[in-house]
Amino acid sequence: MDIKKYIRDVPDFPQKGVMFRDITTLIKEPKAFHYVIDALLEKYRNVKIDKIVSVEARGYIFGGALAYNLGCGLVPVRKQGKLPAETIRLEYDLEYGKNVIEIHKDGIKKGERILTLDDVLATGGTMLATCKMVEMLGGIVIGCAFVANLTYLPGTKTLKEYKIFSVVEY
């Protein structure tokens, strides 16, 4: 299946010069959504994963479905101030600015094998911060999964110390 035809390109969003890859057009199409979940499941079904750490907000869509199918837990990473219990946080660079994300301190136990997951890999700042927080909590990052990898941006280089998998590349 050509997943790219289900991902909408939105030029100049959220700022001029950025080509936003919108997966909302993919998830509304059952066959395309199933295809992506099945591709992720096929990649990770025989890998020991204790939890998926998924990034707000579109990463949750895929993280929840994959965690259910793999029979593992799901831990959310959210923007600053959105999680109710004690957290750790990291600031990171976006393609178009800076942000801060947080994870619950009790979300991961030492030695747990963690798959991180988000919808799109662009500059890699969000995922790198996510991986670093997982490691700060004692988790072992076994890989970083994405629906789409924007290979014309430096995300793959930013995450060079991790195994990266994406369903589709641009």
Contact between 65 and 56 (Cβ < 8 Å): no
Please give the positions annotated as active site.
58, 95
5 within some domain: no
d(CA 53, CA 27): 20
Question: What's the pTM?
Answer: 0.95
What integer is the mean pLDDT of 58-62?
Answer: 97
* CATH, residue 151: 3.40.50.2020
Nearest to 99 by CA among 116, 80, 77: 80
Evaluate if residue 96 carries a pLDDT over 70. Answer: no
**For residue 37, what are the CA distances in angstroms to 53, 110, 165?**
16, 28, 13
116 within some domain: yes
27 within some domain: no
Instruction: Please write the tens of the pLDDT for every residue from 112-159.
Output: 999 999 999 999 999 999 999 999 999 999 999 999 999 999 999 999
Count up the domains in the chain and report the number: 1
Respond yes or no on whether the N-terminal peptide bond of residue 122 is cis (omega within 30° of 0): no
User: Coil, strand or helix: which one is 52?
Assistant: strand
What integer is the mean pLDDT of 19-27?
Answer: 96
50 within some domain: yes
Which amino acid is residue 42, in one-letter code? E
Contacts of residue 167, Cβ cutoff 8 Å, sequence gap at least 6: 3, 35, 36, 39, 40, 146, 147, 148
What pLDDT shows up at residue 95? 62
18 within some domain: no
Name the token pair of 44. Answer: 């990770």
Phi, psi of 153 (to 5 degrees): -110, 165
Instruction: Please write the tens of the pLDDT for every residue from 62-95.
Output: 999 999 999 999 999 999 999 999 999 999 877 6
d(CA 56, CA 79): 7
The least confident of 12-21, 41-50, 101-110, 157-166 is 12-21
d(CA 17, CA 28): 27
CA 28 to chain centre: 19
* Domain of residue 80, residue span: 46-169
20 within some domain: no
